[in-house]
């Protein structure tokens, strides 16, 4: 083989090696980009799945807290006076005890919801902030209604929620399935439950897009 031919072969070999290295690098970059896209998609999918689960767990806790029937086991044991200030004090203690236990699962579910919602807000931005805020408002609304009701039972606060309008408005939030006013023929207007469902639907619309990956 002549020197000139050998030089040409060497140049061609270098070009082939260079092209192979270039194609390998391109393939690696494409693979990295695909991998990153898949990882991002998985992160969004997992966040959406967790947010849905946390939302429905919170919904269940809210519904349990709003149950209109209180079992005897929900109240602390003891004799209950039937008249006077002592009756009022014990009634306050009974419902404070019952609502404290009912609220605990709501608080736990709400903490989980908040933790996951913050993660999703970082991924999805303002749209998720708005959707999560609607659900948070319902929790705060229920908390305030319970607090006001218990305050109205306190012996030292004999005037709170004394008007029929205040009692009805509070009852509509605290309890589901209770007709207000109390007549057999009037349909139950559970606006609070509809507000909760609307908040859940808004979250569901948001997460649905990220569950398709």
**Residue 177: predicted pLDDT:** 76
Contact by Cβ (8 Å): 170, 149? yes
**Residue 110: predicted pLDDT:** 97
Contact by Cβ (8 Å): 87, 81? yes
20 in a domain, yes or no? Answer: no
**Residue 199: predicted pLDDT:** 96
171 in a domain, yes or no? Answer: yes
> Tokens in use for 74?
């929900």
118 in a domain, yes or no? Answer: yes
32 in a domain, yes or no? Answer: no
177 in a domain, yes or no? Answer: yes
**Residue 166: predicted pLDDT:** 81
30 in a domain, yes or no? Answer: no
- Residue 144's Cβ-side half-sphere holds a number of Cα atoms within 13 Å equal to 7
pTM exceeds 0.85, yes or no: no
Q: Identify the domain containing residue 200 by its residue range.
A: 43-211
Contact by Cβ (8 Å): 213, 42? yes
22 in a domain, yes or no? Answer: no
Smallest CA-to-CA distance from 106 within 130, 129, 136 is with 136
Q: Which residue is listed with tokens 């207000």?
A: 180
Buried-state track 155-185, b at ≥16 Cβ within 10 A, e below 16: eeeeeebeeeeeeeebbbbbbbeeebeeeee
Q: What is the pLDDT along the chain (213 residues), one digit of tens a residue?
A: 555 555 554 555 655 555 555 565 444 454 444 544 454 558 888 999 999 999 999 999 999 999 999 998 998 887 665 656 777 788 889 999 999 999 999 999 999 999 999 999 888 888 888 999 999 999 999 999 999 999 888 877 655 556 778 888 888 899 987 665 555 555 567 899 999 999 999 999 999 987 775
- Provide the domain count of the chain: 1
**Residue 35: predicted pLDDT:** 40
76 in a domain, yes or no? Answer: yes
**Residue 27: predicted pLDDT:** 47
């Amino acid at each position: 083989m002549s020197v000139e031919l050998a030089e040409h072969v060497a140049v061609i070999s270098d070009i082939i090696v260079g092209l192979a290295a270039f194609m390998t690098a391109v393939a690696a970059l494409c693979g990295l980009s695909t991998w990153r896209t898949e990882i991002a998609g998985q992160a969004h999918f997992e966040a959406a799945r967790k947010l849905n689960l946390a939302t429905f767990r919170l919904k269940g806790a809210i519904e349990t807290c709003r149950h209109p029937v209180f079992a005897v086991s929900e109240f602390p044991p003891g004799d209950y006076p039937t008249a006077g200030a002592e009756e009022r004090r014990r009634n306050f203690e009974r419902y404070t005890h019952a609502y404290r236990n009912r609220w605990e699962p709501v608080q736990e579910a709400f903490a989980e919801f908040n933790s996951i919602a913050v993660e999703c807000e970082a991924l999805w931005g303002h749209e998720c902030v708005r959707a999560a805020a609607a659900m948070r408002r319902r929790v705060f609304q229920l908390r305030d209604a319970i607090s006001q009701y218990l305050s109205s039972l306190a012996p030292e606060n004999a005037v709170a929620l004394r008007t029929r309008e205040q009692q009805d408005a509070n009852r509509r939030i605290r309890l589901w399935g209770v007709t207000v006013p109390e007549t057999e023929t009037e349909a139950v207007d559970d606006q609070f439950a509809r507000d909760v469902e609307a908040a859940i639907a808004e979250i569901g619309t948001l997460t649905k897009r990220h569950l398709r990956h």
